[in-house]
């Protein structure tokens, strides 16, 4: 099958950019009687297909909803045996023009040398410097740089920490001794371990430092500060005001198959300053850890299609993702908040455990422990014992303490969080105030979570009904578990409770109870879906 695409843009009378993207393939095509329904959510014919591949028939449904959320639409034309052509349009605000290199006049006279053992890092920094019109030279070997600085003028030298057999202190002294520019400035690009183990970087003979991976903003700030004549200028004194220092530059891998959980967890982690990538199941997580840039934390769901979190963790601990990832902190995330499940996580090799739905304060405690100064002795512990799973935080104590110290809102206080224009809703159907607490008071985030919930959960309820009819216990358990967790995330207690009952009954083989619980779940779900659609429509208006 061949595939081609093209795009076009235009500006409408409101000043918005109308983007149109067309994708054409030479596949089998779509029958005429199916063209009008392919954007509707559907159940797979064979329920085992969903379990094996994680698919729910929602891809085009989600694409259509996304296009409509962007004031656009998606259409298709198709011919059997010839292929299909999908076209989607959306409106977007025109971006402000990016500054041209010539506009960065403050960098026009700067010459930079960069030493790093990895070619991708050198290329990335070189490309960014080039955008600003900065003259730069790249070096993989310390001796090559030392030879060059004897005769070539450099204003700033960027030295990446972690180069094998390189003592940064001695090398910095050699640069100053041999450089033809007596006013040369040195900047160290630090490693995560330097931040974690409490290394006092202020004692190093450099003029500044900032953490890898290099971001454009940090690089620009370093250049501005190091090239400034102000005596007080010192990049190592520049610290972000709202993001904890040790979280900046940390990479987290979120392994989660549920789109609702993905939206919420990614936003909460990014708000803490972490860079987050998502893997949809255990196999994808293993491949990501093998090939991508180093990760510092893994947040692992336990029940997923293709490969669950327990099995994925065992593969990681066995070294299948490389020795650098063998001891990576893996924090389990599961809705089964019971002692036996906690032990199962730790026995699999997971480092820690957090209950779903996610409590933002507890999440921050976990990040602080595993990626910040609270874990400054962690590397020493790991060297004594290869498995971090033997050093978990006392999660039960932590979460119990958090619940005790967290102030409880009265019904009056909780009702104040509701808009006066919104009708009262029984909290057991949907507790909007509690949902807002989970999204740290951000209604924009809550609307995104609800949109994902409405795209995902109605088809899951339909698939659950089919699985009950087929008496497919494994599929019933999986779908009920998914509905339960998603509903907890939006504080829909009644739907979550009914889904949990179905999950438990499926695991225990009690099919005689399905006929009474499933209709209740369907009825409660329809009421919930209606309320959520009304809420998002009101916020959109």
CB 75 within 8 A of CB 87: yes
Report pLDDT digits (tens) over 413-429. 444 444 444 555 677 78
* Confidence (pLDDT) at 444: 86
Identify the H or E element spanning 297.
Answer: strand 297-301
Mean pLDDT of 475-481: 92
Q: Angle formed by the axes of helices 339-347 and 395-405, to 10°?
A: 140
Report pLDDT digits (tens) over 33-62. 777 777 765 433 333 434 443 444 567 777
pTM of the model: 0.47
CB 477 within 8 A of CB 506: yes
Q: Of the segments 63-77, 146-160, 191-205, 376-390, which one has the largest average pLDDT value? A: 146-160
Cα separation, 40 vs 440, whole angstroms: 33
Identify the H or E element spanning 483.
Answer: helix 473-489
Cα separation, 156 vs 168, whole angstroms: 16
Domains in the chain (CATH in brackets) are 3-92 (3.30.565.10), 101-238 (3.40.50.2300), 246-405 (3.40.50.2300), 421-540 (1.20.120.160)
* Confidence (pLDDT) at 428: 76
CB 488 within 8 A of CB 357: yes
Tell whether the model's pLDDT for residue 336 goes beyond 60: no
Q: How confident is the model at residue 434 (pLDDT cuts 50, 70, 90)?
A: confident
Task: Say if strands 251-255 and 135-139 run parallel, antiparallel, or are unpaired.
Answer: unpaired
**Cα of 515 vs its chain's centroid, Å:** 39
Cα separation, 202 vs 236, whole angstroms: 8
**Among candidate residues 507, 505, 500, 506, the one with its CA nearest the CA of residue 521:** 500
Report pLDDT digits (tens) over 481-530. 889 988 988 999 999 999 999 999 999 999 999 999 999 999 999 999 99
Cα separation, 123 vs 145, whole angstroms: 16
**Among candidate residues 151, 291, 274, the one with its CA nearest the CA of residue 215:** 274
Task: Say if strands 208-211 and 185-190 run parallel, antiparallel, or are unpaired.
Answer: parallel
Cα separation, 333 vs 309, whole angstroms: 9
> By CB neighbour count within 10 A (0-12 exposed, 13-18 middle, 19+ buried), where does 242 fall?
exposed
Sign of CA dihedral 220, 221, 225, 228: positive
State the virtual CA torsion across 535, 536, 538, 541 in degrees, nearest 10.
Answer: 180
CB 333 within 8 A of CB 299: yes
C-beta neighbour count of 420 within 10 angstroms: 6
Percentage with pLDDT > 70 across the chain: 75
Q: How confident is the model at residue 99 (pLDDT cuts 50, 70, 90)?
A: very low
Cα separation, 435 vs 489, whole angstroms: 7
3-state secondary structure 61-124: HHHHHHHHHCCCEEEEEEECCCEEEEEEEEEECCCCCCCCHHHCHHHCCCEEEEECCCHHHHHH
CB 168 within 8 A of CB 186: no
More confident of the two residues 124 and 14: 124
Q: Which of 29-33, 41-45, 184-188, 246-250 is the least confident region? A: 41-45
3-state DSSP call for residue 139? Answer: strand
């Amino acid at each position: 099958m061949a595939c081609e695409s093209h795009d076009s843009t235009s500006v409408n009378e409101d000043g918005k950019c109308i983007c149109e993207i067309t994708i054409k393939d030479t596949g089998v095509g779509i029958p005429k009687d199916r063209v009008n329904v392919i954007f509707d959510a559907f159940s797979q014919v064979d329920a085992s297909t969903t379990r094996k591949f994680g698919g729910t028939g929602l891809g085009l449904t989600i694409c259509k909803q996304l296009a409509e959320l962007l004031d656009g639409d998606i259409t298709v034309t198709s011919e059997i045996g010839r292929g299909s052509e999908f076209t989607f349009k959306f409106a977007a605000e025109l971006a402000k023009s990016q500054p041209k290199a010539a506009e960065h006049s403050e960098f026009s006279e700067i010459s930079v040398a960069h030493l790093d053992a990895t070619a991708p890092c050198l290329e990335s920094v070189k490309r960014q410097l080039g955008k600003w019109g900065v003259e730069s030279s790249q070096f993989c070997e310390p001796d090559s740089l030392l030879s060059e600085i004897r005769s070539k003028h450099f204003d700033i030298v960027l030295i990446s920490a972690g180069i094998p057999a390189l003592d940064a202190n001695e090398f910095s002294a050699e640069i100053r001794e041999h450089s033809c520019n007596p006013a040369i400035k040195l900047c160290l690009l630090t490693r995560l371990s330097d931040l974690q183990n409490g290394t006092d970087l202020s004692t190093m003979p450099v003029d500044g430092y900032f953490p890898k991976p290099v971001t454009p903003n940090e690089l620009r700030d370093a250049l501005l500060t190091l090239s400034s004549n102000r005596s007080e200028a010192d990049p190592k004194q520049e610290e972000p005001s709202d993001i904890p220092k040790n979280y900046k530059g940390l990479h987290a891998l979120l392994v989660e198959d549920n789109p609702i959980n993905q939206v919420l967890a990614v936003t909460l982690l990014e708000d803490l300053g972490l860079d987050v990538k998502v893997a949809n199941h255990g196999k994808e997580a293993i491949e990501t850890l093998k090939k991508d840039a180093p990760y510092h934390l893994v947040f692992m769901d336990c029940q997923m299609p293709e490969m669950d979190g327990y099995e994925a963790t065992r593969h990681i601990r066995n070294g299948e993702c490389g020795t650098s990832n063998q001891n990576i902190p893996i924090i389990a995330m599961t809705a089964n908040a019971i002692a036996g499940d906690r032990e199962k996580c730790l026995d699999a090799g997971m480092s820690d455990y957090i209950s779903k739905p996610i409590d933002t304060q507890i999440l921050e405690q976990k990040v602080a422990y595993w990626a910040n100064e609270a874990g400054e002795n962690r590397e020493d512990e790991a060297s004594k014992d290869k498995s971090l799973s033997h050093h978990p935080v006392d999660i039960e104590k932590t979460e119990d303490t958090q619940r005790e110290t967290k102030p409880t809102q009265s019904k009056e206080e909780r009702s104040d969080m509701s808009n006066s224009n919104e009708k009262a809703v029984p909290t057991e159907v949907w507790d909007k105030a509690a949902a807002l607490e989970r999204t740290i008071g951000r209604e924009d985030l809550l609307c995104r979570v609800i949109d994902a919930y409405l795209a995902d959960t109605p088809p899951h309820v339909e698939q659950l009904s089919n699985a009950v009819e087929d008496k497919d216990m494994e599929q019933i358990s999986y779908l009920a578990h998914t509905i339960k967790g998603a509903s907890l995330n939006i504080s829909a207690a009644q739907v979550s409770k009914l889904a949990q009952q179905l999950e438990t009954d499926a695991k225990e083989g009690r099919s005689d109870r399905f006929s009474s619980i499933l209709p209740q779940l369907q009825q409660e779900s329809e009421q919930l879906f209606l309320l959520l659609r009304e809420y998002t429509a009101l916020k959109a208006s």
